[in-house]
Structure 1
Amino acid sequence: MQVKHDAAWIKRLSSLAKLYFTPTFLGAEHIDASRPAMYVGNHSIYGVFDSPLVIDYLYNEHKVAVVSIADHSHFYIPLWREIFKKFGAIDGIREYVREVMRQGYSILVFPGGGREVLKREGEQYQLIWKERYGFLKLAQEFGYDIVPFAALGGDEIFEIGFDARHIVENKYFQKILKVPALNKLLRKGDVIPSLPKNPFPKRVPFYFQFQPRQVIPEIQNQQDLVLFREQIQQQIYHALDNLKEIRAADLNQHKS
């Protein structure tokens, strides 16, 4: 499998986002291009603004050719999938991921996937990882460290105008989900998006913080896997709280 990384393309598409969201990156000391790792973070609503900034920062600032694991749906649309590929993204099929890890690429993964992107009212900055543990199994298989990171700002650029719960929790929609083929297609309703009040994003400063590398311990059973994943989640939540404090201090400084 050949991975595409178009540095000029990545820089060009992220440049407007940089001007608009003025991102701040912290924790650069935990990024090491000489040692492939799995970068694991929270996904923002719609996921199209902060992800390119992370990829651009890792690739153009730290020479980390990170491969982004994307939802299958992105690769059904011809032009859209080409854009994703230029950012080094691949379809999130396990054997595809194995192949790029065999080639020594670092991996960017959002375990919340499409459901965490399609947030509903009150789910800002929540990690909706469900029963996803495969990324940790792959990291253990290839001896990759985990680098947790937090992204602040992306869940505040849109105000939800129509909550997807109104559809998903509707009794008629629930009847539709009882049909196995439709339930699979609609992913139990997870693919139903909430809609923003205004399609134009608010100008909110973005903050990113990379956390210390975590060596995956010897995982013997499912309980070990659950506990280690919870540890990663708590690191991300802690980093989000820290970034909120940093942002508040920055805002106060600008006011004074």
Structure 2
Amino acid sequence: MATIGVCIFSAPADLSPVFRRHVVSASRKLVKLRNPFLKPLAVWTEEQPSSAATTRRNFVEKKTSSDDEERVDDVEESDSNYKRKSLKDYFDEAKELIRSDGGQPRWFCPIEHGSHTPDSPLLLYLPGLVKLIEKKVKSENSRFPKRPIYLVGDSLGACLALAVAARNPHIDLALILANPGPSADPWKTVMDSVVKGLSLQSTVEELSRNLVTLSSYLPVLADIFSKETLLWKLELLKSASAYANARLHAVKAQTLILCSGKDRLLPSQEEGQRLCPALPNCQTLFILDFMCSSAHVWQEDGVDLVTIIKGASFYRRGNNLDYVSDFIPPTTPESNKAFENIRWMSVVTSPVMLSTLEDGKIVRGLSGIPSEGPVLFVGYHNLLGFEVMPLIPQFLLERNILLRGMAHPMMFYKQGEGGSLDTGGYDIIRLMGAVPVSASNFYRLMSSKSYVLLYPGGVREALHRKGEEYKLFWPERSEFVRMAARFGAKIIPFGAVGEDDIAELVFDYNDQMKIPYLKSIIEEWSKGVIKLRADASGEVANQQVHWPFSVPKVPGRFYYHFGKPIETEGMKHELRDREKSHELYLQVKSEVEKSLAYLKEKREHDPYRELLQRLVYQATNGFTSEVPTFEP
């Protein structure tokens, strides 16, 4: 049985979150990027490879020294030249591992090895044995006690990872458990078939055939999953499940559980729901969203473990997660997949974006946006934040700018970070650089010269009620002005309209609170939500979490207007005065209101505001052509 050891790549510590890329136009408007900061993963080995293995690129030859330390074979390889291998390639190379020669367990990495930064944490993939892994974990922890160690376990490997964590509660471990099986009785699956009239022999043969036919081009699976092997693995899983179950109470490690609803061998979703409450620092990913659509987490070429880790905000290089310094910008495939998943929004709304030049002239496009940060975008939140969906892709496509959104903490964790959280709904938001809104995160983003997206109205605006469209709900205090001035950031007020062109709000918070059943649900949902403005009162106080019901319309258009940048350079000391900072705060708020009024008036003169007119234009001029609008 093979075990894998890899180091996750990480960006340099001083890397600005402002991420520049080369853009190539395509018929589907997907971003073509080259990230000079990201390198492939690096691997290490536990034994001297055989002569056959050393000829293959995926096996790293160990350089033995007197102290028996492993070396990482650094290979510089740019992101543009890196080509991910297919599942077939991995299994072809795995043939070298299944030979029986009586040797020690082999360490195998199914990716091209490359360079990594010196402070990258270690990641171990675990289908192997507890003591062997525990030995390596202790060794790595003694060398780098301030770094976390990632243990990735799949099915049986999940049991082993939990066992290692339980035996080493003092070591900083981050567990990733895919289709975990600690509570599963593997024989139950077999015996259920026997009860239905099938013999034990035929049932095992059928399970074996199912595993083999998952991919007809991988004959090596027939060797790995023979009848005898499958019987042995089922018995081994039963033993490992009992061992892990008896030690769950001792597990202190941070844990991410990945569950597939289509796992035919193990009740993965049920097990994830059982395990998470039993672990003190656990979150679950029941739906892998745009990252995976396979029946089993690792049985599809589209699955990328690093993308999953990043999308779940599970990557850290120290004892605690730093959402700014630990952020790794999305790669080309990650961005393309993310944008393809929400591309429909841009297609049906044909967003119009207007920016303001230094001389005050309004132009179509984003040429009025400053080329250097820090820049703070301050705007109005449409219903459910729909305006963000076309906004972030457009900034990447047109200006190569990655907007770092300040998002509500409920998109990242529950109250106290100890509760179970299904993270799948917000993976794209986190992958693209959103951070929980807080003074410390705001400070870090400004200090790194980022492009920051802030909505002072927050949840109250995004979950507004009937008749409150385009009404600002901002706090009385100037929360962001002095922080922006501290770093000389440019403040860009902006407005976005169009929510009333795509849906009509019919059942809001006030309506739902009149129904006892819905009222109890809202109150229950709100219990686990982080309270941001505990000292606030009135409209901007903490909004209870609810889901406003709306009726879709034939889609109109989204319109954005970015006002003239407001300079704060040199105003650091001046804006320490609360009255002066409040004056600037009110100026920004007034400019946002002016942008909303401007767009509401101008869209009435757009000949292509309705969907039918836009479709006719694109059918005539090409579906990738930019649809005209009103004159700014």
**TM class, shorter-length:** 0.7 to 0.9
1:95 Cα deviation (Å)?
Answer: 1.4
Residue aligning to 1:84? 429
1:80 Cα deviation (Å)?
Answer: 2.6
Q: Distance in 2 between matches of 1:81 and 1:253?
A: 30
* Partner of residue 344 from structure 2, selected from 16, 20, 41: 16
Does the 8 Å CA contact 1:120/1:194 hold for their aligned counterparts? no
1:217-256 pair list within 5 angstroms: 217=571, 218-251=574-607
1:209 aligns to 2:561 (yes or no): yes
Specify whether residues 40 and 144 from structure 1 end up closer, same or farther in structure 2 by C-alpha distance, changes over 3 A only.
Answer: same
Does the 8 Å CA contact 2:376/2:490 hold for their aligned counterparts? yes
Q: Distance in 2 between matches of 1:183 and 1:96?
A: 19
Of the two structures, which has the highest relative contact order with CA contacts closer than 8 Å and spacing of 6 or more?
1
What TM-score does the superposition give when structure 2 sets the normalisation length? 0.36
1:102 aligns to 2:440 (yes or no): no
Q: Max radius of gyration: which structure?
A: 2
Specify whether residues 194 and 142 from structure 1 end up closer, same or farther in structure 2 by C-alpha distance, changes over 3 A only.
Answer: same
Does the 8 Å CA contact 2:491/2:567 hold for their aligned counterparts? yes
1:145 Cα deviation (Å)?
Answer: 0.9
**Gap runs ≥5 in structure 1:** none
Q: Which moved more, 1:206-215 or 1:60-69?
A: 60-69
Does the 8 Å CA contact 1:164/1:192 hold for their aligned counterparts? no
1:34 aligns to 2:372 (yes or no): yes
SS in 2 for 1:30: coil
Does the 8 Å CA contact 2:412/2:436 hold for their aligned counterparts? yes
SS in 1 for 2:606: helix
Q: Which moved more, 1:104-113 or 1:89-98?
A: 89-98
Does the 8 Å CA contact 1:120/1:163 hold for their aligned counterparts? yes
Letter aligned with residue 2 of structure 1: D
* Partner of residue 193 from structure 1, selected from 540, 546, 563: 546
Aligned sequence identity (%): 24
Q: Distance in 1 between matches of 2:578 and 2:514?
A: 31
Q: Distance in 2 between matches of 1:182 and 1:18?
A: 33
Letter aligned with residue 46 of structure 1: L
Matched length:
247
Does the 8 Å CA contact 1:150/1:210 hold for their aligned counterparts? yes
RMSD: 3.1
Q: Distance in 2 between matches of 1:108 and 1:234?
A: 18
1:146 Cα deviation (Å)?
Answer: 0.1
1:63 Cα deviation (Å)?
Answer: 1.4
SS in 2 for 1:134: coil
Q: Which moved more, 1:136-145 or 1:245-254?
A: 245-254
SS in 2 for 1:29: coil
Q: Distance in 1 between matches of 2:368 and 2:607?
A: 26
Does the 8 Å CA contact 1:14/1:56 hold for their aligned counterparts? no
Specify whether residues 149 and 2 from structure 1 end up closer, same or farther in structure 2 by C-alpha distance, changes over 3 A only.
Answer: same
Residue aligning to 1:3? 327
**CA displacement, residues 44-100 of structure 1 (integer Å, 9 cap, x when unaligned):** 0111x2102111122221111221110011113421342211222111122122223
SS in 1 for 2:557: coil
Specify whether residues 4 and 10 from structure 1 end up closer, same or farther in structure 2 by C-alpha distance, changes over 3 A only.
Answer: farther
1:149-168 pair list within 5 angstroms: 149-166=494-511
Specify whether residues 36 and 91 from structure 1 end up closer, same or farther in structure 2 by C-alpha distance, changes over 3 A only.
Answer: same
Q: Distance in 2 between matches of 1:247 and 1:12?
A: 27
Q: Distance in 2 between matches of 1:237 and 1:245?
A: 12
Higher helix share: 1
Residue aligning to 1:56? 393
**CA displacement, residues 166-211 of structure 1 (integer Å, 9 cap, x when unaligned):** 46699xx8xxx9xxx899869756124362242x465120011111
